[in-house]
Amino acid sequence: MKHYLQLLLLVLVFTSCGGQQETTNPTVEDISEAVYASGLVKSRNQYQVYPVVSGIIEEILVTEGDTVQQGETLVRINNDAAQLNTENARLAAEYARVGANAEKLSELQESIEMARSRMRNDSLLLERQRNLWANQIGTRVELEQRELAYKNSQTTYRSARLRYSDLKKQLDFAARQSQKNLQISRTMRDDYTVKSETNGKVYSVLREKGELVSPQVPIAVVGDANEFILELQVDEYDIARIQPGQQVLLNLDSYKGRVFEGRITKINPAMNERTRSFTVEAAFVTQPDALYPNLTTEANIIIQAKKDALTIPREYLVDGAFVLNENEERIPVKTGLKDYQKVEIVEGLSKEDVIVKP
Lowest mean pLDDT, pick from 54-58, 117-121, 123-127: 54-58
Residue 2: its pLDDT value, please? 40
Is CATH 2.40.50.100 correct for 47-78+192-220? yes
The Cα–Cα gap between 37 and 231 comes to: 10
User: Three-state SS across the chain?
Assistant: CHHHHHHHHHHHHHHHHHHCCCEECCEEEEEEEEEEEEEEEEECCCEEECCCCCEEEEEECCCCCCEECCCCEEEEECCHHHHHHHHHHHHHHHHHCHHHHHHHHHHHHHHHHHHHHHHHHHHHHHHHHHHHHHCCCCCHHHHHHHHHHHHHHHHHHHHHHHHHHHHHHHHHHHHHHHHHHHHHHHHHHHCCEEECCCCEEEEEECCCCCCEECCCCCCEEEECCCCEEEEEEEECCCHHHCCCCCEEEEEECCEEEEEEEEEEEEEEEEEECCCCEEEEEEEECCCCCCCCCCCEEEEEEEEEEEEEEEEEEHHHCECCCEEECCCCCEEECEEEEECCCEEEEEECCCCCCCEECC
Averaged pLDDT of the chain: 83
Domain boundaries, the chain: 22-44+227-358, 47-78+192-220, 84-190
The Cα–Cα gap between 246 and 301 comes to: 7
Cβ atoms within 10 A of the Cβ of 166, count? 11
Residue pair 209/201 in contact by the 8 Å Cβ criterion: no
Residue pair 259/32 in contact by the 8 Å Cβ criterion: no
Residue 100: its pLDDT value, please? 59
Residue 56: its pLDDT value, please? 86
More confident residue, 87 or 105: 105
The whole-number average pLDDT for the span 300-317 is: 88
pLDDT reading at 120 higher than 60: yes
Band (pLDDT 50/70/90 cuts) for residue 262 is very high
The whole-number average pLDDT for the span 304-318 is: 87
Residue 289: its pLDDT value, please? 84
Residue pair 294/285 in contact by the 8 Å Cβ criterion: no
Highest average pLDDT, of 156-160, 185-189, 348-352, comes from: 156-160
The Cα–Cα gap between 122 and 126 comes to: 6
The Cα–Cα gap between 320 and 163 comes to: 95
pLDDT reading at 209 higher than 50: yes
Residue 87: its pLDDT value, please? 63
Residue 10: its pLDDT value, please? 42
State the architecture of 22-44+227-358 in CATH terms.
Beta Barrel (2.40)
Instruction: Give the Cα-Cα-Cα angle 119, 121, 123 (nearest 5 degrees).
Output: 70
Residue pair 67/329 in contact by the 8 Å Cβ criterion: no
pLDDT digits (tens, 9 = 90+) for 6-59: 444 444 443 444 456 788 888 888 888 888 999 999 998 899 999 988 888 889
Q: What is the dihedral of CA 89, 91, 94, 97, to 10 degrees?
A: -60
pLDDT digits (tens, 9 = 90+) for 220-229: 999 998 889 9
Residue 235: its pLDDT value, please? 93
Q: Is the dihedral of CA 274, 277, 279, 282 positive or negative?
A: negative
Residue 6: its pLDDT value, please? 43
pLDDT reading at 304 higher than 90: no
Percentage of residues of the chain with pLDDT beyond 90:
34
Q: Is the pTM of this model over 0.75?
A: no
